[in-house]
Amino acid sequence: MMLSPVKPNAAPDANTVLYANQVEKTYPNGTRALDELRLRVQQGEFISLLGPSGCGKSTLLQMFAGLEEPSAGRLLWWNKSQMPAGETGRRFSMVFQDATLMPWATAEVNVRLPLDLAGRSKAESGPRVALALETVGLAKFRNAYPRELSGGMQMRTAIARALVTEPNLLLMDEPFGALDEFSRNRLDTELRSLWATRDLTVLFVTHSIYEAVFLSSKVVVMAARPGRVIAEVEIDGSGERDDRFRVSPRFVEACKYLSELLAEANAQGEEATAAIGGATR
């Protein structure tokens, strides 16, 4: 297992799905959310953005989803500077921190929403919705309203909604953060096997080291103030992973290594903050 940080300066090539070059984000109040950030996501990778709150990992994800504009720098989607408009092979879906389901609609109608908005007929979308619900194990609950579902089941519904458009890329913003550990581990396992059995690229934001190591083919470690990438760590072992992986020496070693990296970055960050505080005084 390779546990040395990868130097994150690779240029985009034909297999690049997402690329951020020298991306900065400064809010009107002067807060620097991101500083000269560079990130490359290759076709078929499962990349986790791991870091403390305030390191700009969610901001970066929202930029890739077109919900935020960078203050400076360049973003590429499949080597184009325009957001893809849903053409085959270049589709993405986003899963949010909450399930963000419409409370007035059944699970089925919620899952069908992206197809409805794209103007697909009910006849066309019906089988796809059924398939997506089956994939997340909710076929029986298609007529249930969100408030009748548990937190884990609501999140499954959100994942089914993300899958129904048959995306090539999934952007996931701490999707399981609000769930209990049992549900979270189960959904992590299922997500990993979903990724392993499909041609899917995933960019996943989390602040859990264990989740990042379990899920990812590569973990991008970020630090806060300003938000930046401090290391990229490859977690080898392809294909599906199960609970045995969670107790394997490889898993433990990777977790230990990442937590050391994060602790080091945090210490540096505090020093920097202290230095700035001293300079202004």
Partner 1 sequence: MTTSPKPLLGRPTVVRLLAPLCVGLFLLTAWQLGCRLTHVPVYLVPAPSDIAKTLVAEAPALFRSLAMTLEVTLSAFALSIVFGVLFAFLVVQSRALEASLMPFAILLQVTPVVAVAPLIIIWVKNTTWALVLCAAMVAIFPIISNTILGLRSAPLGLRHLFQINRATRWQTLIRLRIPAALPYFFGGLRISSGLALIGAVVAEFVAGTGGSSAGLAYQILQAGLQLNVPLMFAALVLIALFGVLLFMLMVALSRLVLGRWHDPEAL
Give the footprint of partner 1 on this chain (CB under 8 A): 65-67, 85-86, 93-94, 96-98, 100, 102-105, 113-114, 116-118, 145-148
Residue with Cβ nearer partner 1 (95 or 219) = 95
Residue with Cβ nearer partner 1 (39 or 169) = 169
Residue with Cβ nearer partner 1 (103 or 278) = 103
- The CA distances from residue 70 to 16, 26, 32, 63, in Å, are 20, 8, 11, 7
Contacting residues for 125 by C-beta, under 8 A, at least 6 apart: 112, 115, 116, 164
Residue with Cβ nearer partner 1 (1 or 83) = 83
Contact by Cβ (8 Å): 216, 204: yes
Residue with Cβ nearer partner 1 (68 or 240) = 68
Least distance from C-beta 110 to partner 1, angstroms? 10
**Closest by CA position to 217, among listed 232, 228, 230, 197:** 232
3-state secondary structure of 231: strand
Residue with Cβ nearer partner 1 (76 or 196) = 76
- Please confirm whether the linkage preceding 226 is cis (ω < 30° from 0): yes
Report, in this order, helix, strand and coil percent for the chain, each rounded to 5.
Answer: 40, 20, 40
Tell me the C-alpha distance between 165 and 111, whole Å. Answer: 10
Least distance from C-beta 115 to partner 1, angstroms? 9
Least distance from C-beta 98 to partner 1, angstroms? 6
Q: Which pairing describes strands 46-50 and 72-77: parallel, antiparallel, or unpaired? A: unpaired
Residue 40's DSSP bridge partners are 19
Least distance from C-beta 96 to partner 1, angstroms? 5
Contact by Cβ (8 Å): 63, 69: yes
Residue with Cβ nearer partner 1 (65 or 130) = 65
Least distance from C-beta 161 to partner 1, angstroms? 8
Least distance from C-beta 14 to partner 1, angstroms? 26
Least distance from C-beta 99 to partner 1, angstroms? 9
3-state secondary structure of 233: strand
